Structure 1
Amino acid sequence: MNNIKLFLGDIKQTYTKNRFVFINGNDMECILRFFGATKDDLDSIKIVSNSLADDPTLPFRKSKNGRFEINFQEDQVHRLKFQPFILSKEEDFVRYDSGMVRKFRGIGDDLQLNTAFQALLKFKSFMIQDVLVRKRPNLDYSANRYVSTVFNLRTITTPKLLGEPALEGVHSDGVDHTMTVLLDAKNLTQDSAITFVHDIREQNGLRYDECNPDYVLSQVRHTHFLDTLLIIDHERKHSLSPVFLENENHIATRDMLIFFTRKSTLSMHISNTYDSFDKHQELPISFFLQNELEKN
């Protein structure tokens, strides 16, 4: 890729215009190398999901999460303290555990110290900076900082259990910007885990195959390592097809990183009690965004 700065500018322009953008894994690898990812860390992030824990509510999923502050005033990212997690129906998330307080196992140094992971946070910071979005209720848009809750997820399908990357059907994630990144996938059929991007008018909770085709704006599939989708979350909805077994004699797994990024909450927001900006004491980490576009 001869001029990555121009390429990044084109991606951001597409994101700003369409309110979503899909980047293939080969291009993302070049981008992450530009933002500081090493070859060894690109290799090791592929298997980081092997250490995930049982999900608190979904039997077909392994999970961990962690909270990070993206502070544009300081030009830094900081790991934030553990907090429980809530998504509500009012945030366009309709599922049996909507509004439930969930406590996930925290991601560790094997992920947060990985330069490819840090490069993903730098890339997302570049993509969202100065992008105006439809404002969500009870978020503080006056501050030049964001909370990015990162989920490392493995969806599992067995002969007796169907894995659903989005059991909730059509939804939004209650944030300003959502980014989804494929780490690995094994034993999936070609019609597994297709992401459908919907017009904001689509009804929440519908299955991917029940939706109004006039409201389907795009469909993409994370197939290769680092295939990445970004969505302006309060202006587009999305849904996914399940993970189907290609070989019925083996399990199927799909490993992802999901970055939920939003402004901090105001007092009336359902997550306000769990939205601390205190730094993580046991697993502290801070690093500069190091905007390579300005340095080089």
Structure 2
Amino acid sequence: MPRLNPMIKSKIPLSWSMHIYTHIAWPCCHALGVMKAIIFDMDGVLVDTMPSHFQAMRTAVAEIAEIDLKERTFYMLEGMPVMEMARKILDLEANKIRKGVLNLSTLAEKISMRKKEIFMQMKKIPEPFSGVRELIFECPRTCLKAVVTGSSKQELDTIIENNFGSNAFTVAINGDEFEGKGKPDPAAYLAALSRLGVPSTNALVVENAPLGVQAARRAGVKCIVVLNSSPLSASDFSESIENESYIFKDIGAVSGLLKKWCAAAES
């Protein structure tokens, strides 16, 4: 079972922080000057959008299927395309669906459309989590940054432009590019590596969802988890996280280590 990183428990001495940094099996450069890259998931890692996504899906599922969607169920399925997630929810709750209703595929399609409609009506531009802007702008330029999301191009562009500026990330990949290939499919992360021109051994993914961790692993990239506002715990990642990966309470708890890892590319 993965162990929650001790850094989240309290403010720790600098010496302990350096000890952790030097002993974690972080991916590293094999030659001086080799470029590195951090690939960030967007929703739940950079910006606090997940509560709104959950509320929209919960409302849609309740309206159309008369099912009370549990928060943990939603977060465990995060990263799936909306219609695929809706179908999975219906499969899990099949015994609660009234007989004689539409077949599950049709029901899932209706839920997907309604969820997207509700979310768009919210018209919220989310704020980044505390410490995210500093991390993005203070990382050395020799460390490339990418963002990968299952959200639409319109949503991605709006969030990035309003919170970070259009030049903050070298590569930005949205869900419209990989329709039907949500996490744990590694396609989006493989595309990010290709466009960055960085080998998987020199990249690091920052995720918040079990399916996202699986996608990163299938792409051959080391992954760390930041829980931020997620209701999930370390035990929820027991089947997806590898030994070299670590789980942190929030982005602030790992920001210093990420900056040090990036800075090594300048050595």
Tell me the TM-score normalised to structure 1 length: 0.26
Structure with more of its chain in strand, by fraction = 1
Q: Which structure is higher in helix share?
A: 2
Task: Indicate the structure (1 or 2) with the bigger Cα radius of gyration.
Answer: 2
Larger RCO (CA within 8 A; separation ≥ 6): 2
